[in-house]
């Protein structure tokens, strides 16, 4: 007998960080699968787990800065792997780096990174990941100690390691991301990357030459003072996960903590910026 699911089709504006917060809240009440798309998010929960008023107490749905609407449809079980594969596309940075899933064909690039995130990148994550990969390819990582904060799949930590960095730490608050990063660092022969589950509270007393943080505006603004404390003199801080209109606020916060803006990359209104101390 086929399992019956409830599909929620959320329209989200602006997409970030609302979609990330929405996914976190949905996961807490039993939603199993998520597919980000151009208009927002598809989310799935077993009909047997659904109950009236399931979304009533969601913080993000009551936030005045975001417009979120949704429709609900009853469907039979989908082939989730096929759904994910349909929505996940490789990220290729010139002819130097490619981030792909195992089912994508390899190409002749300097750095071939294979990950299996088990859900598609969000519509913004392609842009922010792409720009952070650009920064890593353009910078000197040889022998540098590196932190990948909010590591997700661990892809930034993996490229930094392949570029000669060490030691490399990767941290994410989400258990799924923590476990997935551990799998991916082993898959890419980078098992010596240390992966931790937690938030910026784990950084007390740690020092790094380079910090990579591809998260979202609000968390970055909250954690920039901690990053500044953890960054060695002459170090580099690379930030992404925010829009062009957020750049002034991010740069002002960095400047207040001794970090000077050096350059930015821009893709579809998403920003990735480099700061130095």
Say yes or no: 264 and 174 in one domain: yes
Last residue of a domain, one of 44, 78, 112: 78
- The region that residue 195 occupies, defined by phi over 0 for left and psi between -120 and 50 for alpha, beta otherwise, is beta
**What pLDDT is recorded for position 274?**
98
Number of domains composing the chain: 2
**What pLDDT is recorded for position 87?**
65
CA distance 161 to 19: 30
**What pLDDT is recorded for position 258?**
97
**Token pair for 109:** 């690039």
**What pLDDT is recorded for position 81?**
56
**What pLDDT is recorded for position 72?**
94
**What pLDDT is recorded for position 117?**
67
Ligand-binding site membership of 154 (annotated): no
Q: Counting runs of H as helices and runs of E as strands, what totals does the chain give?
A: 7, 14
Asked if residue 89 belongs to a domain, the reply is no
Ligand-binding site membership of 214 (annotated): yes
Ligand-binding site membership of 172 (annotated): yes
**Under 8 Å between Cβ of 7 and 80:** no
Domain of 217, CATH number, reads 3.40.50.150
**What pLDDT is recorded for position 120?**
46
**What pLDDT is recorded for position 35?**
81
CA distance 7 to 114: 30
H/E run at residue 148 = strand 146-149
The ranges of the chain with pLDDT < 50 are 120, 122-123
**What pLDDT is recorded for position 101?**
87
For 74, 140, 163, 224, the CA distances from 96, given in Å and listed in that order, are 44, 15, 11, 30
pTM of the full predicted structure? Answer: 0.75
At a CB cut-off of 8 Å and minimum separation 6, what does 57 contact?
Answer: none
């Amino acid at each position: 007998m086929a399992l019956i699911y409830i599909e929620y089709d959320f329209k989200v504006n602006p997409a970030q960080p609302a979609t990330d917060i929405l996914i976190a809240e949905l996961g807490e009440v039993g939603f199993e699968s998520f597919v980000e798309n151009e208009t927002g998010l598809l989310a799935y929960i077993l009909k047997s787990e659904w109950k009236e008023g399931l979304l009533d107490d969601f913080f993000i749905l009551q936030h005045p800065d975001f417009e979120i609407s949704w429709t609900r449809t009853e469907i039979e079980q989908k082939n989730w792997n096929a759904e994910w594969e349909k929505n996940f596309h490789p990220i290729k940075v010139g002819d130097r780096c490619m981030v792909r899933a195992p089912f994508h064909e390899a190409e002749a690039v300097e750095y071939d990174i294979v990950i299996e995130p088990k859900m598609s990148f969000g519509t913004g994550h392609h842009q922010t990941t792409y720009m952070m990969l650009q920064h890593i390819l353009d910078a000197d990582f040889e022998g540098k100690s590196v932190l990948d904060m909010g590591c997700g799949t661990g892809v930034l930590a993996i490229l930094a390691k392949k570029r000669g960095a060490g030691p490399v730490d990767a941290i994410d608050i989400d258990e799924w991301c923590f476990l997935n990063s551990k799998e991916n660092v082993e898959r890419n022969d980078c098992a010596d990357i240390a992966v931790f589950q937690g938030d910026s509270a784990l950084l007390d007393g740690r020092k790094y030459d380079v910090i990579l943080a591809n998260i979202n505006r609000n968390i970055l603004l909250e954690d920039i003072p901690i990053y500044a404390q953890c960054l060695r003199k002459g170090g580099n801080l690379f930030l992404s996960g925010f829009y062009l209109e957020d750049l002034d606020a991010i740069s002002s916060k960095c400047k207040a903590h001794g970090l000077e803006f050096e350059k930015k990359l821009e893709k579809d209104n998403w920003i990735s910026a480099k700061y130095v101390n």
